[in-house]
């Protein structure tokens, strides 16, 4: 086995031989955790200021640490920072560079902390920033749905159960169902943010530290709601990342359902909608094709997000207190979940308000599918028939219509009366699609009046966020 030339300086004292070159590569995380550099520096600045306030560092030492860290951040941003695998992770890379720059004072930064509370702080800060971006994208998507729903408050389409035509609904009502799903997702995200927003800094390796640190100060500097309460828990649990991934899985599941509907609706068979060309691709062999790639990919990406949730749950399962190196494996699934969710939301938020609905095709599909059959049954109930008998009567009328290839509204009064003498001329009002949706006029119903109210309330709700 080959050996690296030098022992890692951060713990050289205890070791009699350098770490194996392969092991150095196997245990290193800098290839991916360098993504945390901004949060790592922010955490170090807060820690250093606290050390100076409590007299552990002098003001002169603080100034040179602050100066050094600011320069390092700039070097990273400018692409002038060389990351070293031998230095394992983002934390030791930055600390080693600081010591190179400012000398012995750099070595004092790590007083009263450990990489264990450092990384726990960094991921929380990083995820909190990402949550805020995702919350904005989610809000933008919800607003886009409202925009499209508003245009289609009284556009009639078939509502489905079992993907069979069930009852007429309005397209606006259908879109508002998506809005509701996403609104609960937003609630889950906000809830996750609230719980993660505690500072683990000061938990040190696992038991706390003997230095007179001020955890409230560092928590405040980093905009946390306060310090965490137990040092062992602080450095070890990644439940906040699991919660985020659970939120992400449910969100992606919702987006996959909407995707599936968009894909169906855009097909020649449904022809309910037209997706803007800029969100579709063609086929290299079939000139007529316009493929709904964006919703298909969002549907497909749900798989990897669900996988990452399982990865994190399995990573955490059975881990004894406190920190274990297993936790280094939390980052890649979390990063990829964030990237996937951000991209998927962006694609949806751009695409949804640009959708064109084919109202005539939607209406025709609702008309063809005997979607007002329940309305006829309800009509007969209002005339005194028990619901089960009414159901039977309408069933026979539908069977007749299927044979004749005619909708209920296209039958004559005489024909309808052969199924029940209770049917009179006013029946045609309930057999129209407009009459059917307008009649479902209560909170949560599909009547245009209700959908309009739901949209107005949703607008107010979003503007208060």
**Count helices and strands in the chain by DSSP H and E runs:** 19, 4
Shortest spacing between CB 40 and ligand ARG, in angstroms: 10
DSSP string, 250-266: HHHHHHHHHHHHHHHHT
Q: Could you tell me the end-to-end alpha-carbon distance of the chain, in angstroms, rounded to an integer?
A: 58
367 binds ligand ARG (CB under 6 A): no
Distance CA 213, CA 205 (A): 14
The answer to whether the CB of 227 falls within 8 A of the CB of 216 is: yes
Count CA within 13 A, CB hemisphere, residue 240: 28
Q: Are 302 and 256 in contact (CB under 8 A)?
A: yes
Which entry of 58, 84, 283, 396 is annotated as an active-site residue? 283
Footprint on residues 78-97 left by ligand ARG (CB under 6 A): 89
Site map 95..134 versus ligand ARG, x via CB under 6 A: --------------------xx--x---------------
Within residues 20-39, the interface with ligand ARG by CB under 6 A covers: 29, 33
Q: Compare residues 329 and 449 and give the one whose CB is closer to ligand ARG.
A: 329
Residues numbered 430 to 459 that lie near ligand ARG (CB under 6 A) are none
CA within 13 Å, CB half, 355: 34
Residue 442, SS3?
coil
Minimum distance, C-beta of residue 12 to ligand ARG, in the bound complex (Å)? 15
For residue 324, what are its two tokens? 């274990």
Task: Give least dist CB 116 to ligand ARG, A.
Answer: 5
357: three-class secondary structure by DSSP: strand
Count CB neighbours of 303 within 10 A. Answer: 11
Residue entry with tokens 């399982």: 310
Nearer to ligand ARG, 236 or 372 (CB): 236
How many other CB atoms are found less than 10 A from the CB of residue 387?
A: 11
- Which of 235/390 has CB closer to ligand ARG? 235
Cα distance between residue 112 and residue 51, in whole Å: 8
Interface mask toward ligand ARG for 298-337; x: CB under 6 A: -------------------------x-x-xx---------
Least distance (Å) between residue 325 CB and ligand ARG: 6
Give the interface size with ligand ARG as a residue count (CB under 6 A).
10
Distance CA 73, CA 86 (A): 20
Q: Which two tokens stand for residue 393?
A: 């009567």
Closest to ligand ARG by CB, 29 vs 165, is: 29
User: Using CB under 6 A, which residues numbered 226 to 255 contact ligand ARG?
Assistant: none
The least distance separating ligand ARG from the CB of residue 156, rounded to whole angstroms, comes to 55
Q: Which residues of 61-97 are buried (b: 16+ CB within 10 A; e: fewer)?
A: bbebbeebbeebbeebeeeebebebbbbbbbbbbbbb
Query: Would you say 318 and 109 are in contact if contact means Cβ atoms under 8 Å apart?
Result: no
Residue whose entry in the numeric block shows the structure tokens 């005339």: 383
Inter-residue contact 54 to 214 (CB < 8 Å): yes
Q: Based on CB atoms, which residue is closest to ligand ARG, 19 or 427?
A: 19
391 catalytic? Reply is: no
Inter-CA distances, 155 with 141, 371, 385, Å: 21, 15, 32
Nearer to ligand ARG (CB atom), residue 121 or residue 436: 121
CB 207, min distance to ligand ARG, A: 13
User: Among 2, 162, 284, 318, which one carries the catalytic annotation?
Assistant: 162
- Asked if 11 and 18 touch (Cβ cutoff 8 Å), the reply is no
Catalytic, 461? Answer no
Active site residues per annotation = 162, 283
The residue ranges that bind ligand ARG (CB under 6 A) are 29, 33, 89, 115-116, 119, 323, 325, 327-328
């Amino acid at each position: 086995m080959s050996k690296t030339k030098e022992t890692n300086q951060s713990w050289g004292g205890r070791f009699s031989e350098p770490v194996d070159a392969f092991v150095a590569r196997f245990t290193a995380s800098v290839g991916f955790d360098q993504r945390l550099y901004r949060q790592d520096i922010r955490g170090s600045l807060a820690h250093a200021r606290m050390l100076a306030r409590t007299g552990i560092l002098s003001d002169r030492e603080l100034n040179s640490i602050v100066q050094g860290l600011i320069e390092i951040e700039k070097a990273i941003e400018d692409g002038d920072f060389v990351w070293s695998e031998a230095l394992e992770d983002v934390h030791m890379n930055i600390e080693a560079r600081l010591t190179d720059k400012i000398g012995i004072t750099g070595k004092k930064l790590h007083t009263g902390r450990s990489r264990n509370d450092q990384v726990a702080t960094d991921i929380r800060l990083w995820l909190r920033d990402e949550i805020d971006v995702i919350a904005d994208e989610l809000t933008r998507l919800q607003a886009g749905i409202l925009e499209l729903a508003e245009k289609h408050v009284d556009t009639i389409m078939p509502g489905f159960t079992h993907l069979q035509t069930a009852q007429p609904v309005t397209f606006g009502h259908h879109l508002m169902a998506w809005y509701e799903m996403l609104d609960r997702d937003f609630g889950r995200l906000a809830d996750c943010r609230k719980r993660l927003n505690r500072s683990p800094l000061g938990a040190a390796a696992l038991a706390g530290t003997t230095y007179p640190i001020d955890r409230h100060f560092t928590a405040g500097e980093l905009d946390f709601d306060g310090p965490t309460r137990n040092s062992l828990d602080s450095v070890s649990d990644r439940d906040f990342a699991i919660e985020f991934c659970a939120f992400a899985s449910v969100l992606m599941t919702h987006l996959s359902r909407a995707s599936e509907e968009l894909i169906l609706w855009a097909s020649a068979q449904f022809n309910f909608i037209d997706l803007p060309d800029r969100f579709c691709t063609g086929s290299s062999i079939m000139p007529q094709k316009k493929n709904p790639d964006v919703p298909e990919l969002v549907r497909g990406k749900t798989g990897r997000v669900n996988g990452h949730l399982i990865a994190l749950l399995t990573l955490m399962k059975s881990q004894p207190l406190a920190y274990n190196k297993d936790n280094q494996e939390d980052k890649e699934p979390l990063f990829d979940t964030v990237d996937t969710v951000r991209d998927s939301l962006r694609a949806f938020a751009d695409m949804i308000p640009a959708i064109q609905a084919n109202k005539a095709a939607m209406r025709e599909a609702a008309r063809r599918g005997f979607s007002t059959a329940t309305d006829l049954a309800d009509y007969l109930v209002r005339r005194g028939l028990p619901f089960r008998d009414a159901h039977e009567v309408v069933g026979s009328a539908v069977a007749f219509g299927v044979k004749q290839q005619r909708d209920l509204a296209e039958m004559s009064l005489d024909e309808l009366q052969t199924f029940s003498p209770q049917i009179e001329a006013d029946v045609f009002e309930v057999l129209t699609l407009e009459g059917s949706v307008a009649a479902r006029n209560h909170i949560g119903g599909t009547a245009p009046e209700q959908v309009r109210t739901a949209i107005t309330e949703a607008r107010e709700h979003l503007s208060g966020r």
